[in-house]
Structure 1
Amino acid sequence: MAIIQKDEGDYFGAQETALQAIDYLDKNNSQNRTYLSHNYNNLGVATYQLKDYDKALYFYDLAIKYSNDSLSNQIYLNNKAKVYHDNGNYSEAITIYTKILNETGKNRKEYARFLTNIALSRWQQNHNYNPTHDLLIALNIRKDDDDIMGLNSSYTHLTDYYMDNKPDSALFYARKLYTVAKQLKNTEDEMKAVERLAYVSSPDSARNYFKIYQQLSDSIQQARSAAKNQFAVIRYEVEKNKSDNLMLQKDNAEKANRLTRQRVVTGGITLLSIVLLGGGSIYYKKRKQRLELEAQNKIKASQLKTSRKVHDVVANGLYRVMIEIENRDDIDRTGILDRLEEMYDKSRDISYEGEEQKETDRPYNEYIAELLKSFASDSHKVLIAGNEVDLWQSVDKQAKEEIAHVLQELMVNMKKHSQADNVVVRFEKSNNQLHIYFSDNGVGMEKDKLYGNGLTNTGNRIESLGGKINFAGELGKGLKVEVIIPLC
């Protein structure tokens, strides 16, 4: 999954999935070394694309550490040298490329790759250096071997070298590059080729190439947008199915428990009339069975609780981050990473039932405002009323936590199903009760379909606080929800 996300341009998603994969690979098991090295290399590539060069070097070093294959090692070293090249450390890049060239042996494809890269680093280090001799050697090797990917690289670098000193040669290689890019059916490579053609062509031709460039750019943006969401829904549905299955197992265990108790009572009465000692012995065995079933039931209830926490913290939290990425053009990378790190920390703490939540000095009304506003966009307006600091002073910690989960569930439900473009959330305190009013102008719901799994869980949360929740919905007239929670 991480490799697919990286190839589709979803580098943040690739990082997250690859880091999760590490937990499944035992570093002390020699059979996992190959998977670890490939996974760390993929992490390095995704991180390199995000321009975090120091972290990329760290991941490439780990890929080399776990690699058992000399050819893979050369590829990882080449990736490491590319980081030094792009970071301006050409001397270090040349040192690594030289070492690789001396170890390449008879592998013509890899020799051409490393020869190209070292020529480019020498040229970038000293612009008086002419790299064409090595670049043309690599080009001829790739022609002989019909290495289309390699030809794409050679034509790119020859075009770039001749761009300023020999425009005719640059145009010649740019046309070759465009032909090869179309053979590869790689939109990004086509876009790079068209960009170079526009730069070196006549004004009339440049305008046509610019139109092609815009079309390709739009296509890439659509593909990347789709890539960011392709696995998030799968994960959400998997966790939801786990929760539903655990609920079903709990119900079955309770039914089995009731049936066992009935059998114990019936059997005890029947056998007691025959022989008191025999009936007592059977009752003892059945009672032991019942206690074991109750213990299993408690375990399943704990699993269900953990599954709900995963749903609230990971699935809804991930969906919320996806909405922010989708709706905002100016993505705050640091903020998104902080949000993902917060989700990561919370997900790790889920298994520790007795661990207390970290206290925060942040006002709760600001937290609620940010949660609700994260679902807003140009096409989705979210209005908030009554969310004042004083409102929350008499609300205890557990109630605040459950309220946040309830509001998040309602907003996720609105975003996924309601087709609403206006949402109003109003808070009010009266008669020692907290009132929360939610309404949207979406498609609404039929009365007999108001209580699905998500909304049922929402009702259970409010009931656990001694409160109540009322749903009012009608097709075509939006959804209205009233939450009432008693205050201490």
Structure 2
Amino acid sequence: MKLSKPPSLLIFVQLLCIGLLTSISGQAQKHIDSTDFYGKILLHPDESFDVEAAFSYFEKQVEMDLRKNDTINAVKKLRYMVIGQIEMGALYESEETAATALRLLDKMPTDSLVKAHKKGIYNDLGMVYRTLKNPTNAFLFYDEALQICEGASDSLIVINNKGNQYLDIEKHELAQLQFTKAYELSKQISDSLNQARALSNLGFAQSKSQHPDALDNLLLGLGIRLRNNHLAGIYSSYSHLSNYYHNRGQAKEAEDYAEKAYNIAHQINSPSYIKNSLSNLLKIKNDSIAQEYITLNDSIKLAKLQKRNKYAGMQYNLSKEKLKTEENRLLQEKEKRKKQGFQFLGILLFTGILAIYFVQRAQNRKNTIKEIFRTEARISKRVHDEVANDIYHLMTKTQLNVLEPDALLDDLEEIYSKTRDISRETNALTLQDDFGAQLSDLLQSYQKEGTVITIQNISQINWKGVSNTKKTTIYRVLQELMTNMNKHSKASQVLISFQKTRGSLQIKYVDNGIGSVLKNRNGLENTENRIKAIKGRIIFDTAPSKGFKVTLTI
């Protein structure tokens, strides 16, 4: 079978992808190599040019990481800068850099990685204040670091550093407690190098108080370091042993270990180690001129460092003060804008309420005028339909002389009754103190021959607890229901009952009249409107030949 050749475009795309991946991989590896390279320079600074280049590299990397919202990597670079600044003696600058890193971490959710970085930064700040001869702050930050340490391995470095701080202030017993604790923790996790560090530090602290186990612990620590070929640790052990013998006047042993430390320093190829070992050798050889030079040089260096850091501290404090002032100014500006915003909202709200008030008042006035027109039209219609027609009919009978005097009087009495009813229904209502009696009189006034009105529980209602608006509404609604009954229902029995239920007043009207179709309420729309106006409910229940029922809830 003949195989087909892959299209040339496909081959080109494959080669392009491989090239891009190789390029990206190469750039990533270059970035990692650069970070490692410049990181080593900051951890062991020798040439100022390289140090300057390292700081420049990390500053740019921090900016790039922050632009990408990669806070953790930005913090990692800032920690390199903190350690580099400590090594260079720029202690206040390192404090400021550490504070920047902590502020970034404070904005992140707390997890094990964030805790680890915070612990490292607190430990670095402890070292800063130890170098500045400020043990109070050093202990403060060491303790902060210990509070967030998780597990033994996390705590060992901080505990050792805390022990060294106690040594600096000559509290040898407290130092021994810290180093003993570090040794016990290192045994728990089988960490031989940390065991060696703790033993060497413990032996050195014990030597300051003439403890009998001092030399044994120093030699045990050295043995572990020699077996692991840990050059930096071996250098530290030799320095401790040299100091141990020098303090006891054993010059030969002290010089031997000092020379061993010097040789190890050359193997490490660290200028700072070589310088320190040379200084130690000169002290042990007891050259008075060299000793005077070393003492004077150390004093000058310390004075310069303190002066430089004092000036840097003043600059740092001034910067913090300026920042604080600016923050206060921004806060005041924010509060001012907030206050102005509230004032604007208040004015807007007041204007809105005022507008609603005037619109509502105008609407109410309009509704009142409409109601007046409707009332006038209704009265006019009733006067025309019920009174004027009867009068005209009576006049016709009178002209034709078909009425007896008694019949004439009866017709006039009927016209008067209709006129009185219209007047009573439309006049302004004056509420009496005993509203129950007033309402009962109204209902009883509709009783006539052939119609029995029954009123239940009206005297059990506390009418003083009912507002005048609701009383007026109840009066007019019942009046309209009774008038409707009188005109249309042909009822012989009417029952009106009153009951107080769950904070509401319930009134039920029932008659045994002819009823009606529910959608045709015989002009009772006004009754519904009155009830709705006081946020009440009205339910009609009627059907032809089934009577008429109304339930009012107010």
Structure 1 length-normalised TM? 0.45
Q: Whose Rg is larger? A: 2
More RCO (CA 8 Å, sep 6+) = 1
Which structure features the higher share of helix residues?
2
